[in-house]
């Protein structure tokens, strides 16, 4: 049976959830449409890559993760159009 202390803690946690959601929304609303698109494309593919990451394997450095995410987005330019311009192809010569 919940105690009064449990109710206080649950109330506090619910209040913090609302505060965090409002703070995240304020950041999101401050982004341009292009920035929102970039965040969306990278965040979704980052999540997908994270779900595919083998359990117990060492997590790569940020630079490697960034490369993996951007490269994976290139495979699906229709799903990640902000991060991967439609003219980007593997056939283009590297600089």
Rg of the chain on CA atoms, in Å: 20
Mean pLDDT in residue range 77-91: 73
In Å, how far are 9, 25, 70, 90 from 33, measured between CA atoms? 38, 14, 19, 27
When the pLDDT of each residue in the chain is averaged and rounded to a whole number, the result is: 86
pTM score, two decimals?
A: 0.64
| Joined tokens for residue 55 | 């359990």
For residue 34, is pLDDT > 50? yes
For the beta carbon of residue 69, count every other beta carbon within 10 angstroms: 22
In tens, the pLDDT along 66-76 reads 898 889 888 88
In tens, the pLDDT along 1-28 reads 778 889 999 999 999 999 999 999 999 9
Residue 55's pLDDT is what?
A: 87
């Amino acid at each position: 049976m919940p105690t009064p202390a449990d109710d206080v803690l649950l109330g506090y946690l619910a209040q913090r959830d609302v505060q965090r959601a409002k703070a995240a929304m304020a950041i999101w609303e401050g982004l341009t449409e292009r920035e929102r698109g970039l965040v969306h494309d990278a965040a979704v593919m980052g999540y997908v890559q994270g779900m595919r990451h083998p359990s117990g394997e060492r997590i790569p450095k940020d630079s490697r993760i960034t490369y993996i995410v951007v490269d994976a987005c290139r495979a699906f330019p229709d799903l990640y159009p902000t991060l991967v311009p439609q003219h980007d192809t593997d056939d283009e010569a590297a600089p």
